[in-house]
Chains A and B, each alone.
Chain A
Amino acid sequence: MEVGSLLIILVVLCAVVALLYGPLRARGAAPRDESADRVAELEARKEAKYREIRDAQMDMRTGKLSEQDFRILDRQLRAEAMEILRALDEEPGHAVADHRLG
Chain B
Amino acid sequence: MATVGRALLILALAVAAYGIFASIYGARSGRTQWIVSGRRAVYAIAALVTGAFAILEVAFLRSDFTFATVAAHSSTTTPAFYRAAAAWSSQEGSLLLWLWLLSLWASLVLFLTRRTLRRVAPYATAVLLGLAAFFAGLLVFLETPFGLSPIVPLEGNGLNPLLRHPSMMIHPPMLYSGYTLFAIPFAFAIGALITRQVGAADWIRSTRRFALGAWFFLGIGILLGARWSYAELGWGGYWAWDPVENASLLPWLTGTAFLHSIMLQEKRGMLRIWNVSLVLATGILAVLGTFLVRSGILDSIHAFGASTLGVPFVILIGLLVASSIGLVVWRREALRSENKLDSPLSREAVFLANNLVLVAMAFVVFWGTFWPLIAEAFTGTRRALGPPWFDRYTVPLAIVLVLLSGIGPVIAWRRATAANARRNFVVPGLVALGAGALLAVSGAADKPLALAMFVCGAFVVASVGQEFWRGVGVRRAMTGEGPLGALVSLVARNRRRYGGYLVHVGMALLFVGVAASTAFDAARDIRMAPGQTTRVAGYDFTYVKPTSKISTTTDGELEKISFGAIVDVHRDGRKITTLRPERGYFPSRDIEGLGAIGRFFEGEATSEVGLKAGMRRDLWTAMTPDIRALLPAIRQGDRVFEAAAGKLTPQTQARALGAALTGLVNRYSADPPPATFRVIASPLVSWIWLGAIVVFIGALIAMWPGGDAARRRVTAGYAARVSKDLARDDLARV
**Chain A residues engaging chain B, CB cutoff 8 angstroms:** 1-2, 5, 8-9, 12-13, 16, 19-24, 26, 29-33, 36-37, 40-41, 43-48, 50-56, 58-59, 61-66, 69, 73, 78, 81-82, 85-86, 95, 97-99, 101-102
Chain B positions 462-511 with a Cβ under 8 Å from a chain A Cβ: 467, 470-471, 474, 494, 497
Q: Name the B residues within 8 Å of A16 (CB-CB).
A: 11, 15, 44, 48
B475 to chain A, nearest CB (A): 9
Instruction: List the one stretch of B136-144, B435-443, B710-718 in contact with chain A.
Output: B710-718
**Would A97 and B713 be within 8 Å (CB), given that A9-B7, A53-B726, A64-B424 are in contact?**
yes
A81 to B723, CA, bound (A): 10
Partner of A50, one of B36, B467, B709, B719: B709
Are B3 and A102 in contact (CB-based, < 8 A)? no
Instruction: Tell whether B153 is near chain A: CB-to-CB under 8 Å.
Output: no
Q: Name the B residues within 8 Å of A33 (CB-CB).
A: 118
Given contacts A16-B44, A58-B497, 5 further A-B contacts (CB under 8 A): A29-B29, A50-B722, A66-B420, A97-B713, A97-B714
30 residue pairs A–B, Cβ–Cβ below 8 Å: A2-B3, A5-B3, A9-B7, A9-B11, A12-B8, A20-B19, A20-B22, A20-B41, A23-B34, A24-B37, A29-B33, A30-B32, A32-B32, A32-B118, A33-B118, A37-B118, A37-B119, A40-B116, A41-B200, A44-B205, A48-B205, A50-B722, A52-B413, A53-B726, A61-B474, A63-B423, A64-B410, A65-B420, A66-B417, A97-B714
Q: Name the B residues within 8 Å of A5 (CB-CB).
A: 1, 3-4, 7
A61 to chain B, nearest CB (A): 4
Are A20 and B420 in contact (CB-based, < 8 A)? no
Q: Which residue of B lies closest to A65 (CB)?
A: B412
Instruction: Tell whether B62 is near chain A: CB-to-CB under 8 Å.
Output: no
Are A86 and B29 in contact (CB-based, < 8 A)? no
**Would A62 and B467 be within 8 Å (CB), given that A46-B709, A48-B201 are in contact?**
yes
**Would A19 and B43 be within 8 Å (CB), given that A24-B34, A55-B413, A85-B718 are in contact?**
yes
**Chain B residues engaging chain A, CB cutoff 8 angstroms:** 1, 3-4, 7-8, 11, 15, 18-19, 22, 29-34, 36-37, 40-41, 43-44, 48, 51, 115-119, 200-202, 204-205, 266-267, 410-417, 419-420, 423-424, 467, 470-471, 474, 494, 497, 708-715, 718-719, 721-723, 725-726, 728-729
**Would A12 and B48 be within 8 Å (CB), given that A23-B33, A63-B423 are in contact?**
yes
Most buried by A among B116, B200, B709, B710: B709
Are B31 and A102 in contact (CB-based, < 8 A)? no
- Main SS at interface, chain A: helix
Are A69 and B413 in contact (CB-based, < 8 A)? no
Q: Name the A residues within 8 Å of B32 (CB-CB).
A: 29-30, 32
Are B30 and A32 in contact (CB-based, < 8 A)? yes
A81 to B721, CA, bound (A): 10
Partner of B728, one of A23, A54, A82, A102: A102
Q: Name the B residues within 8 Å of A45 (CB-CB).
A: 201
B112 to chain A, nearest CB (A): 13
A16 to B401, CA, bound (A): 50
A22 to B3, CA, bound (A): 28
**Would A50 and B420 be within 8 Å (CB), given that A32-B32, A37-B118, A102-B712 are in contact?**
no
Q: Nearest 7 pairs between A and B by C-beta? A: A102-B712, A44-B201, A23-B36, A82-B718, A64-B412, A47-B709, A62-B470
Q: Name the A residues within 8 Å of B718 (CB-CB).
A: 82, 85-86
Partner of B40, one of A22, A41, A55, A62: A22
Are B4 and A62 in contact (CB-based, < 8 A)? no
Most buried by A among B30, B202, B417: B202
**Would A24 and B423 be within 8 Å (CB), given that A62-B474, A73-B414, A82-B719 are in contact?**
no
Are A58 and B712 in contact (CB-based, < 8 A)? no
B260 to chain A, nearest CB (A): 15
Are A98 and B713 in contact (CB-based, < 8 A)? yes
B303 to chain A, nearest CB (A): 37
A28 to chain B, nearest CB (A): 8
Q: Name the B residues within 8 Å of A22 (CB-CB).
A: 37, 40
Are A30 and B417 in contact (CB-based, < 8 A)? no
Q: Name the B residues within 8 Å of A37 (CB-CB).
A: 118-119
Partner of A9, one of B4, B410, B714: B4
A11 to chain B, nearest CB (A): 10
Are B413 and A56 in contact (CB-based, < 8 A)? yes
Are A58 and B48 in contact (CB-based, < 8 A)? no
Q: Name the B residues within 8 Å of A50 (CB-CB).
A: 709-710, 722, 725-726, 729
A33 to chain B, nearest CB (A): 8
A92 to chain B, nearest CB (A): 15
Are A48 and B267 in contact (CB-based, < 8 A)? yes
A48 to B474, CA, bound (A): 23
A86 to chain B, nearest CB (A): 6
A99 to B721, CA, bound (A): 13
